[in-house]
Amino acid sequence: MIDRGTFVKQNQNGVAYYTIPFLNDTGLVCTVYSTRQGGVSTGETAAMNLGMRRRDTPDNVMENYRRLLRCAETTPERAVVTQQVHGTQILRADLSMGGKGIRFGEPAPEADGLMTDVRGAALIKHSADCATIYLLDPVKKAIALAHSGWRGTLADMAGHAVEALRREYGSDPGDCMAAVAPSIGPCCFEVGEDVTQLFADAYPRWDLVRRGAEKPHVDLWACLDAQLIRAGLRPENIRLSGVCTCCHPDEFHSHRHSRGHCGLMAAVFELK
């Protein structure tokens, strides 16, 4: 189910970003998803780049973080960042991890997912076409934030994140709520036959491949939706933005559109 109204665009002091009322209206969390608008970066990473390993300066990236996190009513000192490696590990976060990895020169642990039941720990995930999954258990008051590119999606990152909440906090998937941020859509995710076959082999009963163009296109949104339902979420508790980052390079950083010459967006998720 694609619901373009799930993510609502906001603007604060020139910084353009999205929030998720579907989750925020529970009163339990703050959600922010950045655009590329409102930062100080220049060139290919202009203007709101949150990637510390991109062609940008440390001062620019830190100022961008300060501006974006101000919109989330938090600070870099409370932000939890990891190095994303296209895996399925979900790391448990707390306030002792705040600020680590967000400053240049500081190592960050490798993990494509974060989870917490600690108020004030601002979970951060980066993307530039890859999907970001927000998960909230409003009963146990726990959250998870997961980065899911095509490799992570193929490896069932969504299912791993739901299972991590169940294992660590006793979450019932039937209670959980999920939202998938803007990411590359089936309109633009053109792949070769090798990747097509990987998805066909992994999910033989799912209608994920669209043909008719020069190359097949894989529908990662449908895959994530199906994974969340298979993990036990109720369909009415899942929202997909339905916004393709590759189709809107003026608003979002897109690895596919720019052929790798871009910055990174950041998702912020925090228990209030």
Q: Is the pLDDT of residue 173 over 80?
A: yes
pLDDT of residue 105: 60
What integer pLDDT is reported at residue 205 of this predicted model? 84
Q: What pLDDT sits at residue 104? A: 58
| 190-233 pLDDT, tens digit each | 999 999 999 999 988 888 988 876 889 999 999 999 999 999 99
Q: Are 119 and 30 in contact (CB under 8 A)?
A: no
Tens of pLDDT, residue by residue over 94-125, are 999 999 878 656 788 999 999 999 999 999 99
* Cα angle 244-250-254, degrees, rounded to a multiple of 5: 50
Tokens of 77: 């000192």
Cα distance between residue 258 and residue 128, in whole Å:
10
Q: Does pLDDT of 138 surpass 50?
A: yes
Residue 3 has pLDDT above 90, yes or no: no
Region 85-93: what's the mean pLDDT? 97
Q: Which of 178 and 104 is assigned the larger pLDDT?
A: 178
Q: What are the tens digits of pLDDT across the range 228-245?
A: 999 999 999 999 999 999
Q: What is the pTM of this model?
A: 0.96
Residue ranges per structural domain of the chain: 8-184+240-271
Contacts 24+ apart (CB under 8 A), 102-108: 102/52, 102/62, 102/65, 102/76, 103/58, 103/62, 103/76, 104/52, 104/58, 104/61, 107/83, 108/81, 108/82, 108/83
* pLDDT computed for residue 122 by the predictor: 97
Stretch 12-40: mean pLDDT:
97
Q: Which CATH class is domain 8-184+240-271?
A: alpha beta
Q: What is the pLDDT of residue 5?
A: 56
Mean pLDDT (the chain) is 94
Supply the pLDDT for residue 11.
97
